[in-house]
Structure 1
Amino acid sequence: MRPTIRAVAALALVAGLLGGCGFSSGDDWSQPRPLPSPVGSLKAGFVDPSTPPTPEGTITPVPGSWSEVHPGSGYRVVLLTRGADAPTKALVTAVEAWAAAEKVSLRTVTAGTDPVPDIIRAIDMHADLIVSAGNDLVDPLTVVTANHLAQAFLVVGAELAEPTHNVTAVDWAGASFRGEGLGASSTYDAASFTTARCDAAIRAGAAAVLTGLTGIVVWLS
């Protein structure tokens, strides 16, 4: 039996109402929504509450003090990456594993020879956080991030020389690439980008961003 025109119209109206309320089989990022609240809180030793970090300051949290902070449901992350070197691949794998474990809505932008347009493309996706993996992105990010202060960035395994308040970095003695002709530090060690270290980097960095500790460097001891 064929449905009447009135029945078809009614079904279309119901579908439209449900779509407008955000009922869908997955997060297609097409609808704006409030920033999801983080779950959990930092443990003692992540930061000294009596002396909060200054802008561009560095904190050295106690290992594992970030483990109870998680992104809220529906948290949207763009993984921005460039480079085929082993450290970059290790960071990408860690970010993907974190996103899967935390049920984060993750999309990936692989930057080309000129990364700036691809960074802009990532910004235009309106993610809650853009995570950067790869030393080749440091200088281009320096150009772009200061002009997009409403977008949160997390740089893992490197840092910007003069970050604005929306850029947080996670670094350690074997990483420390800063760009702007500064290059890698004398202690740079590609072998230091272990699975455990990269996993700690994304989790500690995300915990800092989620709890509002941005514009700083999180130094892993």
Structure 2
Amino acid sequence: MRPPLRTVALLAAAVTLVTGCSSGDDWSRPRPRPTAIGTLGPGFIDPAAPPAPEETVTPRPGSWSGVRPSKGYRVVLLTMGDDRPTRALVTAVKDWAEDEHVDLRTVVADDGHDLVPSITRALEMGPDLIVSAGNDLVDPLALVTPSHLSQQFLVVGAELAEPTHNVTAVDWSGASFRGEGLGMSSTYDPDSFTGERCAAAIRAGVAAVLNDLTGIVIWLDRH
């Protein structure tokens, strides 16, 4: 027995809606390269002397606030750890993504054995940017990122000791974990991971990446 025509029509409409939502979330589809909306304010860098790779810059507070990503910016938040600083960074990234209508997905490393595999999972998603939050990811990123130079990474609240040009970091004296057996900085202070500073970290870092100021360390001690 055939279903009533009205039932068929409703089913077809439901399939169309589901298909539409899925296609909108499909990162495998090609699209234009994301761009920066807005411009960096005075004092972010010295335009007459752009920073060299691995250089540290200390931008004027708020000089990044006029920059946001274009619509549909695809970001993977890569995270490991449940300590208070990591939770503060994760919250800041998620709040920023919601405010700026960023297409955000999250990859969580389950344990120490899952660190490199978690980076691989993030890479396979093909995002515009991978944002890392959590000190445990620093050494695995140092291992993996030189082999994926076309993928942009942003490390918030820590930095790589010798970053390649595709790894940008946002750090401050209360954070400044660098991995590679260097141990925790003597100035490390979990209380420095305030909501305000973590929010500044993600916004300043993304503003730099969108303006092709990559491979540098952005220092926020003036914030």
TM-score after normalising by structure 2: 0.88
Number of the residue aligned with 2:60: 62
Contact 1:35-1:75 at 8 Å conserved across structures:
no
Amino acid across the alignment from 2:39: S
Instruction: For 1:52-201, list aligned pairs within 5 A.
Output: 52-113=50-111, 114=113, 115-201=115-201
Structure 1 counterpart SS, 2:43? coil
d(CA) in 1 for partners of 2:77 and 2:21? 25
Q: Deviations over 1:132-177 (max 9, x none)?
A: 0000000000000000000000000000000000000000010000
Shift of 1:23: 8.7
Q: For 2:101, give the aligned amino acid.
A: K
Query: Deviations 1:45-90 (Å, cap 9, x if unpaired)?
Result: 0000111111100100000000000000000000000000000000
Which residue number corresponds to residue 31 of structure 1? 29
Change (3 A) 1:193 1:128: same
Deviates more, 1:30-39 or 1:40-49: 30-39
Counterpart-to-counterpart distance in 2, 1:25 and 1:146: 32
The more displaced of 31-40 and 198-207 is 31-40
* Greater share of helix: 2
Question: What do you get for the CA RMSD once the two structures are aligned?
Answer: 2.0
- Which runs of no fewer than 5 residues in structure 2 stay unpaired? 7-11
Equivalence for 1:8: none
In the superposition, the TM-score normalised over structure 1's length comes to: 0.89
Gaps in structure 1 of 5+ consecutive residues: 4-10
Percent identity between matched residues is 68
Contact 2:28/2:126 (8 A) holds in 1:
no
Residue 25 of structure 1: how far off its partner (Å)? 7.0
Q: What is the SS of the residue equivalent to 1:153?
A: strand
Cα distance in 2 between the residues matched to 1:66 and 1:74: 20
Does structure 1 residue 50 correspond to structure 2 residue 68? no
The number of aligned residues is 208
Q: Name the structure 2 match of 1:6.
A: none
SS in 1 for 2:37: coil
Deviations 1:12-35 (A, max 9, x none): xxx8xxx8xx99673332312122
The amino acid across from 2:58 in the alignment is T
Paired residues of 1:99 and 1:105 also in contact (CA < 8 A): yes
